[in-house]
Structure 1
Amino acid sequence: MISITTSENKKVYFASDQHFGAPTPEASFPREKKFVAWLDEVKKDAEAIFLLGDLFDFWFEYKTVVPKGFVRVLGKLAEIRDSGIPIYFFIGNHDLWMNDYFEKELNIPVYHEPQEFIINNKKFLIGHGDGLGPGDHGYKRMKKVFTFPLFKWMFRWLHPDIGVSLGHYMSVKNKLISGDDDAKYLGDENEWLVLYCKEKLTKQHYDYFVFGHRHLPLEIKLKENSTYINLGDWIQYFTYGEFKDSFKLLQDK
């Protein structure tokens, strides 16, 4: 378990679900510039930065090829990491085919499952959030197929021009990206991540659960000293998390 203690005037930042490349590279370019400007701002006082998945709307790593584009974001992440600020990346359901590119090229660790962190003596469980809790059985079956080694091996044999185009086409069919307003609060009893967090609390204590995936900025008290945070997205809300002594869910202006 990684422990982080912020220095004086330093903070820990969290962001998720940028989906760069959707619905088209041209349409997402202003959002990419906005996010890079945000990274430029938070690097001034960041102790660490957590990116909780779906940074790209589609990502697949061939052995010698990665998808074209996103150079401003990748360059800014490299600059921040080279300055000594730790960055932690959690894969999402749109970039679940990420392997070691971030680790080798950017020195950014990549996590495929939720992880525990201690930040200023508070216990966090952090992840993207897809496939957790009850329900969502269709996606859980799909994820098993997409992450099956044979399927990935077969997809890798597609020429990158075909594979990336196909992957991008399938990815933008996601209703959250295509514009259908499915990201609505369903009530605690129907929020799978809330149920997942409550189940976790029956086994051990966490001060904060921090996830993305839902595309809704949410802050829900689970117990007096335990809170579930959903970071929202950088498509509609442009929200992010900030932590020093307490967690703040903020909106980039």
Structure 2
Amino acid sequence: MNIPEGKKIYFSSDNHLGAPTQEESKPREAKFVKWLDEIKEDAAAIFLLGDLFDFWFEYKHVVPKGFVRTLGKLAEIRDSGIPIYFFVGNHDLWMHDYFEKELNIPVYHKPKEFEFNSKTFLIGHGDGLGPGDIGYKRMKKVFTNPLSKWLYKWLHPDIGVPLAQHLSVKNKLISGEEDQQFLGEEGEWLIQYCRKKLETKHFDYFLFGHRHLPLEIELSNTSTYINTGDWINFYTYAEFDGKEVLLKTYKP
């Protein structure tokens, strides 16, 4: 993709809409929708890097109640011709094809390579990557197993959704949430993952979420790791203006 002059690519992650309750997350949702409404004026594309929802499960004919303002704004932006890309996180990993069929937004379950204005990017959510986090990696294999999803769908939504929402908030192993303090470059698994990737292929930028920490780390003179932070404590996002990626804070 070549970005026209005056246009930008935007990246955000970790809204966790619905947490800790629908009512408590509504002010954060309103702020996010306002941001979407503003960036649509110069957006060449928008990347949502996972955990937009604190829980998401697609039954055959049912999706979780709520989030109408967010979904409506995404539909409006996509219908206007602006590409939107969604990477599932550990809280919405049970996303299937609802976004693709209803909103025309492609959904990715693994990191994906992109090239913008001759700059190479590796983009994803970030959960379960790099060394360590063994307990969560095992749990993720269970959750992503087709049999597990098939069994879970037989729970009535009035049981399955509140149960999953409760576990999402309370159980750190299930949620995959890590310590939200910077652990140093040697202790950050995503940084180790990026450095390992650079051993076999060059990327100008690595864009991830998951850590809930806005981070910008130089991996080399020509490669940078950026974590987009979250929309709970920091309200941060990244933008690429065709030349460089900048980490910014939304202040309406």
TM-score, normalization by structure 2: 0.96
Q: CA deviation at 1:246?
A: 0.4
- d(CA) in 2 for partners of 1:48, 1:247: 14
Identify the residue that residue 79 of structure 2 maps to in structure 1. 82
SS of aligned partner of 2:170: coil
Map Cα deviations across residues 111-136 of structure 1 (whole Å, 9 max, x no partner).
Answer: 00000000111000000000000000
Q: CA deviation at 1:83?
A: 0.1
Q: CA deviation at 1:174?
A: 4.9
Identify the residue that residue 33 of structure 1 maps to in structure 2. 30
Identify the residue that residue 149 of structure 1 maps to in structure 2. 146
SS of aligned partner of 1:188: coil
Give the percent of matched residue pairs that are identical in Structure 1 and Structure 2: 71
AA aligned to 2:168 is S
Q: CA deviation at 1:175?
A: 5.5
2:190 maps to 1:193: yes
Identify the residue that residue 215 of structure 1 maps to in structure 2. 212
Q: Structure 2: any 5+ residue segments left out of the alignment?
A: none
AA aligned to 2:117 is N
SS of aligned partner of 1:6: coil
Conserved? CA contact 2:178–2:211, under 8 Å:
no
Question: Quick one: which of 233, 239, 242 aligns to 2:239?
Answer: 242
Identify the residue that residue 131 of structure 1 maps to in structure 2. 128
Conserved? CA contact 1:175–1:182, under 8 Å:
no
SS of aligned partner of 2:89: coil
- d(CA) in 2 for partners of 1:95, 1:181: 17
Conserved? CA contact 1:53–1:91, under 8 Å:
yes
AA aligned to 2:198 is L
Q: Structure 1: any 5+ residue segments left out of the alignment?
A: none
Cα RMSD after superposing both structures? 1.5
AA aligned to 1:250 is K
Name the count of aligned residue pairs. 248
Q: CA deviation at 1:182?
A: 3.1
Map Cα deviations across residues 90-130 of structure 1 (whole Å, 9 max, x no partner).
Answer: 00000000000000000000000000000111000000000
The equivalences for 1:30-69 within 5 A come to 30-69=27-66
Conserved? CA contact 2:216–2:224, under 8 Å:
yes
Give every structure 1 segment of 4 or more consecutive aligned residues whose post-TM-superposition deviation is greater than 6 Å: none
Identify the residue that residue 102 of structure 1 maps to in structure 2. 99
AA aligned to 2:89 is G
